[in-house]
Structure 1
Amino acid sequence: MPRFRALKTELRSMLEQPAWEDSLQHIISIPATQTVGPLMSFFLFGGEMKWRAITTFGLVMGKLATEDIEQARITMRRLLWHMNEESGNVGWGIPEAMAESMINSKILANEYNRMLHSYVRETSDDDNYLDHPPLRRGVYWGLGRMAKKYPELMLPSVRALSWGLQDEDNEGRGLSAWALGFIGTEANIPALESLLNDACPIDLYCDRAIHCTTVAQIAQQAIEKIKERENDN
């Protein structure tokens, strides 16, 4: 326990620094079994610390997957358990951490990508749909992160993201639009256009920085990306 506390304090100190990225290689060099727990505890902090911890967690998982894929799968199942109501956890940051893990391991991406979009896909069967809007935002962001790197792999998520454009949560709609910018089609453009007057602010984490934008701006950018992609084809 003393070692856990000391490592947690050390990791927190490194991630709080303006030059936090300089510490990433050192953190990755520490055995993943020691760092995943402390990093997950930082998801609850919110703001920059949450996102820095999620980014770092994904890199740690990528390395773990190359060294011990079974242990990486165990950790992914741990994340899935945290998304289960029976676990007693709220799940803050878990969808985002799942996405970052898959971003850094194609093996994990192939095996777990469908689980991610199941959290925002309502069906007539017993499903995983999340009723809590802030958690759905994490899933939409994760799908966008995945779609940016693995557009072909994430095409099955287009339907769930299309529903996301009608989410009751403004930020959820905006993040769905962001994700569709990478894998959406012309069929999604009318729904995206319906968001062009939505001035709801969104803090979008992208390229390891938080960008202040709006639903309308994200929707406009998504439309432009889709049109450009369609023209290229």
Structure 2
Amino acid sequence: MGIREKRRIGKLLESSDIESVIKELYHLPPSRVINPLIGALCSNDEIVRWHAVTALGQIVASLADRDMEGARVVMRRFMWSLNDESGGIGWGAPESMGEIMACHSGLAQEYGHILVAFMREEGFFLELELLQRGLMWGLGRLAQVRPSLLKEKNAVTYLLPYLASSDGGVRGLAAWALGLLHAQEAIPALEQLLSDPGQVRHYLNRTIVDETVGSLAEKALANIKKHHSIKGHD
């Protein structure tokens, strides 16, 4: 792909109408779109970064429907970028993996355990807090669509320690994910976070929002209690 087309895709991602952007990207072969989207994950513009994550979810899911091995190559590329031996840092990789798996059940079945393994010290543990924020978001995004899959992978057990992270973004996004997983085990720790003033800037329903750890903990508790109250009346 030429530099001109890469710039064109980067410019498209600046649009506030991500749905129109994705429709336009669908007209191009995935091989011409995926590399510029991955490159956009390192943009200085947070809108561009998040729109790249959203677009990757749709484009790679569409690719998987036609060429599963081609989609696996993309997933393995993200995994490699998070490996110390890659020489890179893997910015945007956990978020993109979570978004892609939220969009495609087959890829979620194959790679869901990898996202969980990034939390495990005996697995592929991510040490950098900024990457941990991305991981918490990726897990939360996947939990929005496929909570049962993450529960099967014992994600709740590995998420709980992140509520005590020194990083407010990690704490808040871990709370968000645990709320989506309706994790009763998290209730005591979430209650301890209700007055936490830590700031969390994240991407929710395709909009960038600013919240506190305390507000995310409060919403998580409400999700958990509502779910189990309804379940108890079934």
Tell me which of 106, 123, 130 is aligned to 2:126. 130
> Secondary structure at 1:92's aligned position in 2?
coil
Tell me which of 143, 163, 166 is aligned to 1:165. 163
Q: Percent identity?
A: 36
8 Å CA contact retained: 1:201, 1:212: yes
Q: 2:211 — aligned with what?
A: 213
Aligned counterparts of 1:4 and 1:199: Cα–Cα separation in 2: 46
CA deviations on 1:118-166 (whole Å, 9 max, x unpaired) are 112224xxx2111100001100110000011001111121111112112
> Secondary structure at 2:148's aligned position in 1?
coil
Q: 1:149 — aligned with what?
A: 145
Q: 1:175 — aligned with what?
A: 173
Q: 1:27 — aligned with what?
A: 25
8 Å CA contact retained: 1:185, 1:230: no
Matched AA of 1:131: E
Gaps of 5+ in 1: none
8 Å CA contact retained: 1:82, 1:90: yes
Moved more, 12-21 or 145-154: 12-21
Tell me which of 184, 187, 193 is aligned to 1:186. 184
Residue correspondences, number: 228
Offset, 1:74: 1.1
Aligned counterparts of 1:204 and 1:110: Cα–Cα separation in 2: 26
Aligned counterparts of 1:122 and 1:166: Cα–Cα separation in 2: 16
Aligned counterparts of 1:58 and 1:209: Cα–Cα separation in 2: 16
Aligned counterparts of 1:28 and 1:192: Cα–Cα separation in 2: 41
8 Å CA contact retained: 1:170, 1:200: yes
8 Å CA contact retained: 2:182, 2:227: no
Tell me which of 12, 15, 18 is aligned to 2:13. 15
> Secondary structure at 2:42's aligned position in 1?
helix
Gaps of 5+ in 2: none
- Structure 1 runs of 4+ with >3 Å offset: none
Aligned counterparts of 2:180 and 2:200: Cα–Cα separation in 1: 18
Q: CA RMSD in A?
A: 1.1
> Secondary structure at 1:165's aligned position in 2?
helix
TM-score, normalised by the number of residues in structure 2: 0.94
Equivalent positions of 1:66-81 (< 5 A) are 66-81=65-80
CA deviations on 1:158-205 (whole Å, 9 max, x unpaired) are 111112112222210110000001113322100001111111111120
Distance 1:212 1:154, change over 3 A: same
Distance 1:100 1:118, change over 3 A: same
Offset, 1:35: 0.9
